[in-house]
Structures are given as C-alpha cells and as structure tokens.
Amino acid sequence: MNWLFVAGIAVFLIGLMVSIALHEIGHLVPAKIFGVRVPQYMVGFGTTAWSIRRGETEYGIKWIPLGGYIRMIGMLPPRPGDAPGKLRGTSTGPFQGLIETAREASMEEVRPGDEDRVFYRKKWWQKVIIMSGGPAMNFVLSFILFSILLVGIGLPTYAPIVSPQTNTCVIPVSEKRAECRPTDQPTPAAKAGLKPGDKIVSFDGQKISTWDDATRLIRGHGAGTVALGIVRDGKQVTLPVTLIAQDRPSLTDPNKVDKNVGFLGVLPTQVMEKQSFGMVAGYMGELTGRVAGSLLDLPEKMVGIWHAAFSGQERDPEGPVGVVGAGRLGGEILSSDMTTEMKVFNVVNLLAGFNLAIGMFNLIPLLPLDGGHIAGGLWEGIKRAFARITRRPEPAYVDIAKVLPLTYTLALVMIVMAGLLVYADLFNPLKLTG
C-alpha cells in the first residue's frame, strides 16, 4: 500500500470536514445572533460518532463526511390561519401531503416561549444573512487559501532557464519518444554549449524576461545564426547559436503543428513566482467565471460523466468531480514525484477550488440549496416593500413549503448525480496527469 496516497486522501478529507464545519458555522453564528433556536449543529451525515451539548445546542460529528447541517426550529411557516406551533393531520393529496408533513416536522420542536425564535418569523434580511452565511464562509476560506497559494507559495511558471530534462538531440515532432538515438542530430543548444541552469536573458540583442518572450523570438526568427545572451554562474556570456527550422507543436493548439519555425532545443525550468495580494481577487474572479460557466453547463457535463462511467470515454478535465474523485486526486498529488513545494501548491489549490465550487453551487436559487432559502427571503422583502409603497396590508411570510414537491424532485436528481459521480470517480477517475 502506498501510504502517501492514503495520506493524501486523509489530508483532503480533513480539509473537507473543516470546510463543512466552517460552512455550518456561517449559518450558526447569525442564526444565534438573530435569536433563532438551533437544537443541532452537525458535521457529516449518518449516525453520530461524537456529540456534546452546550446550552440549547447539540454539537457533533457524524460518520459520513459528505456534508453537514444546523437544525433551526420553524423553518416553514404554519398554514394561514393556524396558530404558531399548531400541528395538523396530513392531507390526502400526494403533493399536499409532502408539504404538510414537512410543515409538521418544522414545527414539532417549537416549545412555549419559542414563538419569536422560529426561523420563518425573522425579518427577510435576517433570513438572507443566515442562509448566505454558509456560502460566504466558503468564499472567505477559498480567498484565504488562494492568498496562501499566490502570496506565500507562488504560481508555477516557466522561466527561461535551461532545464535538466532538456534533450541534446533533435527528435521530430511526429515521433512520440523522449530518448535520443545515435542517428539523431544534436540540437543547436547542444552545439552551442548551453548547459542546465543557464538563464537566457537576451536574444539577438532583445531582452528576455519570460519563457514566452524566448519562445516567441526563437520561433519567429526561423533558421539562422543569432547572439544568445545567457547568465551562467552569475556571469553574463554571449553565445553564437545557429537555429534550425523544425515543425513544432502549436503554442495555441497542441493538436496542430507549426511548420518550419525557429528551433533552439531547450526546455524551460518551472519555478514558483510569488504574486501580490492584488492578484488574488483577479485570480479568484477568473476562476469564479469558469465555475459559473461549468454550473450552467452542468446537465451537458453530466452526460459526459455518464459516458465516461459506462462507455469508458476519457474524463473531461474541466468536468465535475465528486468528493471521492477529489480525494483520489489528493492521494495522487502526495504520492507523485513532484517537489514538496508543488505538492503543497496542488493540495492547497484543490481545497481552495473545492470551497469556491461548494460556495457557488449552494447559491443556486433552488431548494434544498441555501440559494433557495435566500431567494425566498429576497422575494419576501420585495413583497413587503411593495406593500409599504402601495400602503397595502403587510403580506404573510413567504411559504417556501409550496415548492417542496420541486425540492424533493431536485433532491432526488442531486442524489442520482452524486451517485453517478461516485461511480465514475471509482471506475474511471480523473487523473492528475493526462
């Protein structure tokens, strides 16, 4: 057994549990501030592994680390005309029966004196804050992790420094091999005497600061002799290098080939480049846009997961991944031959991205997600504002119980999606490398 692989899974699960715990604290704290009675705060599902009671709330951990919850009393209002806390028999209609059962369960813990401590009687903006607190905690945690990533560790980037993995021979792009043969001609870099660790600082008199600069100038020059400025052992040296023309993979589309471009024959060195705090917001903004696009395309991407699970098709690297798949990625990261710095980078990046995705997914304005309750609170605020403007009687509380049939349908769809992801993550997992 590869213990590093197991450790990677454990690290991800611990990070996930911390994320879930903080998400629920994001709900718990404002709920208590606004006076809602919270009988339970739980991390995980299933049977309880450990719990302790503090005041009126039981805090605990359950065995299945796939979520968590806080239980607030009176999430759903009673039927119009009923006194708070009154219970009724279930109606005979199937959908109405679902609504009434949920309404009874919502009110069964309401005790005398709790009439003003039920969730549904809170002001609309308090409901929005309580239900937004969970996703907000995920965004805050994601920002903190991305800050550690960019400012403390840095982003991996390629520097114009000759890598030790650089081949000394010219291998045609059509041949999928990495080792040289006796018949292969030496690269222009090998002929010129470039060595691993040499930093390219100029090309034919033009300054080079990034690997992109070097690639653009080398490819654009074509065949011919140029003066290559390098720094070796702290000293700047100029070497005459005779470039050759080669067919090379396109920089914009790896499936295409650029014909007869300039070729030097060096590989860059990957380095970690630390960023400023100002870059964190931009980095998160770009990722947020990509996650939002993925959520909009989720039905289509789940079709891809189905084909990957049952037809053996390759997994889409930009497609959804479940907890099982993310845990496996954590295991692959720690058991890989990456440097320690890159392992830390990838684990932190995985947890930060997962928190960002969890936060955005929970904002979808559909029950049973937090976004459904937020939408209900906002709608209630709009109705009450309209009533004040038009001087009409204050409207009743928004009864989200009326959409419970849709909620149960969506919950079933989410369970099926989660099961499909687990199956695909087990039998056709997303790999860390191609």
> Can you give the length of the chain in residues?
434
- Measured at the CA of 154, the angle between CA 152 and CA 158, to 5 degrees, comes to 165
Determine the Cα–Cα distance for residues 182 and 203; give it in Å rounded to an integer. Answer: 30
| Packed helices 404-427 and 298-310: angle between N→C axes, nearest 10 degrees | 40
Determine the Cα–Cα distance for residues 331 and 242; give it in Å rounded to an integer. Answer: 45
> Which class for 16: exposed (0-12), middle (13-18), buried (19 or more C-beta within 10 A)?
buried
| Type of residue at 421 | L
> Which class for 200: exposed (0-12), middle (13-18), buried (19 or more C-beta within 10 A)?
buried
CB 341 within 8 A of CB 9: no
C-beta atoms surrounding 206 within 10 Å: 11
- Measured at the CA of 268, the angle between CA 262 and CA 272, to 5 degrees, comes to 145
Determine the Cα–Cα distance for residues 419 and 188; give it in Å rounded to an integer. Answer: 54
* 3-class DSSP assignment, residue 350: helix
Q: Which of 24, 100, 332, 380 is catalytic?
A: 24
Active site residue 273: no
| Type of residue at 253 | D
Residue 368: asked if its preceding bond is cis (omega within 30°), the reply is: yes
Q: Which H or E element spans position 301?
A: helix 298-310
Name the token pair of 75.
């999430």
CB-based contacts of 214, cutoff 8 Å, min separation 6: 160, 200, 203, 208, 268
CA distances from 419 to 20, 113, 192 (A): 20, 43, 58
Catalytic residues: 24
